[in-house]
Amino acid sequence: MLTVFAMFTVTMFTVFAIAVLTVTILAVFTVFVVVLAVVFAMTVLVVTVVVVSMSNNRERQTKNGCQDQGLFHTISFP
């Protein structure tokens, strides 16, 4: 009877350990995917700002003949 109980205990511990490891791996993978999504969104945002800034500078340059003022003229830093 003790052997059956010991085998049952070891089996339940193994199942519990596998479940905990699976949940941990899924949590780490989820955090990794969220970080990748945030990095991708920030990259798209920065590229959009740069492209719009360059487009606006080209339009200004063709309208009044001024030179390209760059991104730092469009964004006013405090």
- Residue-range domain boundaries for the chain: 2-74
Q: What is residue 67's predicted lDDT score, i.e. its pLDDT?
A: 53
76: DSSP letter: -
What is the pLDDT, as a whole number, of residue 30?
A: 98
**SS3 of 33, please?**
helix
**Secondary structure letter of residue 75 according to DSSP:** S
Averages of pLDDT over runs of 10 residues in the chain (78 residues) are 88 97 98 98 93 72 53 56
Question: Which pLDDT belongs to residue 4?
Answer: 87
Given this model, what pLDDT does residue 18 score?
A: 98
